[in-house]
């Protein structure tokens, strides 16, 4: 293992944070239990006092094909996974194209687009050194109970990369803001949309400092330049408070606040 200073104001997708020392885990290392693992920081909001952090090094960014299964390392960026699937004519990974991050982040969040979710195509995950079949992992909408660190995952190879589906999905995503964000701030409550609720309580486009509930899509907290953690947090709290008061619905964060 080694340490690396990562500036989260540049590294995180929402561009909030500060230079922070992160432990880089290499192949063969014992993974510490007292550190929080991050992936590509596309779903994170880093406070000025985050817990001790760690990250999988590029030793965990690999693909391997064997006996009809594709094994992918958890540090593999989603963009590279889609390129691999396209090049080798493998179906099922098209939806990863516009989900920024790493495989590990996708597994932990059961990331997805519409009805496409990573758990739909998964066979097994190696968690804390042990292979676990997906039937034994509790999971649901934007949620998976990994109870540990995923280092790699196995997928059954199905031939037939769908270029048309890829094009359709890319098109579908174009209603998202271009300003830096961490994706959806809240999970959609059952039968409703967090974006609709935020808009209904008058917060679409609402700003605090350089942070804003996007005027393109209200469930995206965007950074207009020099947005800071305190402003982001206060907008999150304000949305929760107003939506609860008006609709009696508790919004749950999708974004991880560290």
Ligand X SMILES: Cc1cc2nc3c(=O)[nH]c(=O)nc-3n(C[C@H](O)[C@H](O)[C@H](O)COP(=O)(O)OP(=O)(O)OC[C@H]3O[C@@H](n4cnc5c(N)ncnc54)[C@H](O)[C@@H]3O)c2cc1C
Catalytic residues: 142, 184, 254
Q: Which of 6, 81, 182, 235 binds ligand X (CB under 6 A)?
A: 182
Q: Does residue 181 sit in helix, strand or coil? A: coil
CB nearer to ligand X: give 17 or 201. 17
**Which residue in the block uniquely carries the two structure tokens 């994170």?**
44
Q: What residue is closest to ligand X based on CB?
A: 105
Q: Considering only the stretches 36-44, 164-172, 207-215, 244-252, report the one whose residues sit in contact with ligand X under the rule CB under 6 A.
A: 36-44
Q: Considering only the stretches 22-30, 93-101, 193-201, 209-217, report the one whose residues sit in contact with ligand X under the rule CB under 6 A.
A: 93-101
CB of 174 to ligand X, least distance (A): 11
Site for ligand X in 216-245 (CB under 6 A): none
Tell me the HSE value of 92 on the side-chain side, using a 13 A CA sphere: 17
Distance CA 139, CA 146 (A): 9
Distance CA 175, CA 234 (A): 25
Burial level of 176, CB count in 10 A (0-12/13-18/19+)?
middle
183 lines the binding site for ligand X (CB under 6 A): yes
Pairing of strands 69-73, 221-223: unpaired
CB of 21 to ligand X, least distance (A): 16
CB nearer to ligand X: give 243 or 258. 258
CB nearer to ligand X: give 101 or 240. 101
Q: Which of 111, 122, 157, 211 binds ligand X (CB under 6 A)?
A: 111
Which neighbouring-strand residues pair with 50?
none
Instruction: Give the residue ranges of DSSP H helices in the chain.
Output: 8-11, 78-87, 103-109, 118-121, 163-172, 194-200, 229-247
17 lines the binding site for ligand X (CB under 6 A): no
Task: Please give the residue ranges that form the binding site for ligand X (CB under 6 A).
Answer: 13, 37-44, 56, 74, 99-102, 104-106, 108-109, 111-113, 142, 146, 149-150, 176, 181-183, 256
């Amino acid at each position: 293992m080694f340490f690396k200073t990562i500036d989260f104001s540049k590294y995180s997708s929402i561009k909030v944070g500060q230079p922070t020392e992160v432990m880089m885990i290499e192949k063969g290392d014992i993974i510490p239990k007292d550190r929080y693992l991050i992936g590509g920081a596309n779903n994170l909001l880093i406070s000025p006092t985050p817990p001790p952090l760690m990250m999988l090094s590029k030793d965990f960014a690999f693909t391997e094909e064997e006996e009809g299964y594709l094994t992918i390392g958890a540090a593999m960026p989603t963009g590279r996974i889609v390129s691999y699937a396209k090049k080798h004519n493998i179906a099922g990974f098209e939806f990863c194209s516009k989900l920024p991050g790493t495989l590990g982040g996708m597994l932990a969040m059961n990331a997805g687009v519409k009805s496409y979710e990573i758990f739909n195509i998964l066979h097994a995950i190696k968690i804390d050194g042990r292979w676990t079949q997906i039937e034994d992992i509790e999971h649901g909408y934007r949620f998976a109970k990994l109870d540990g660190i995923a280092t790699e995952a196995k997928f059954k190879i199905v031939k037939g990369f769908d270029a048309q589906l890829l094009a359709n999905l890319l098109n579908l995503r174009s209603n998202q803001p271009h300003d830096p964000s961490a994706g959806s701030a809240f999970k959609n409550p059952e039968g409703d949309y967090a974006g609709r609720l935020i808009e209904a309580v008058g917060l679409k486009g609402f700003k605090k400092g350089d942070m804003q509930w996007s005027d393109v899509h209200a469930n995206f907290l965007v950074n207009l330049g020099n947005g800071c953690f305190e402003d982001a947090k206060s907008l999150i709290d304000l949305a929760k408070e107003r939506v609860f008061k008006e609709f009696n619905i508790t919004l749950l964060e999708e974004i991880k606040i560290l």
